[in-house]
Structure 1
Amino acid sequence: REKIEWFLKYADIKTKADEFVESATMNPSFEESAMFENMIDLMFDDEYEVYVFDTAPTANARRLLGMTSVYSMWVNKMVQSREEAASLKDLLSYSRKKQEKDPLMDYLLNLRERMSRAKTLLTD
């Protein structure tokens, strides 16, 4: 919930986190996405030499591995959208002050890097 509230704040989306969570959880891949992100967090903690994730039969495991591609496409689209919004904000701004740091962009770039690392680890 905290991550969603943070995301909504910096994305300038005017909705309450509860409404967003409720609609997001209706998406069939919501649980898989959350599980995948938790899996990556565990792997990058690097506490163990080997990680075993007990997944359903082959089709589900392949789908889970395919999440790196889906996440990458989504993140790339979000980064592009943020860059375009920042560019427009600059063009329409009356002041020429230096552009503020964008925590959401930092998060997205970090997520993109993590997805790339995860894909390498999971498909090696």
Structure 2
Amino acid sequence: MQNGNIYTGTFVNGAPSGKGALTLASGDSYTGDFAAGKFNGNGTYKFKNGDSYTGEFKDSKFAGKGAIVTGGNRCEGEFSNGELNGKATCKYKGGEQFTGEFKNGDRDGKGVLTSANGTKVEGNWKAGKMQ
């Protein structure tokens, strides 16, 4: 591709469609389903820094059920518009775990935070902060 990206897979009307693999000039990569040149369906996006997302995509954004691993933290749940939105469970590298509602990537709504030593705190969160 002229922009330095490398695509392997099928094309329909000149655009990636069906199963394929794309390595971006930035070093990020995607393997999975394409439709009309966008990530649509199931796939895995790997960031150059080692972080990754595996799950459903819509219009090249994380959308639907998926799991993201960033900096040793792992969150699994519902995504929309590229962020956690809905129910999810996040396990943090320090041993904490949060299970509950998210909005725009932040804890928002009811949830349970479990510390590394097993202590549980139930409550309501707003914009990432416990109320």
Smaller-chain TM-score range? under 0.3
Report which structure shows greater RCO (CA 8 Å, sep ≥6). 1
Greater percentage in strand: 2
TM-score (ref. length: structure 2): 0.23
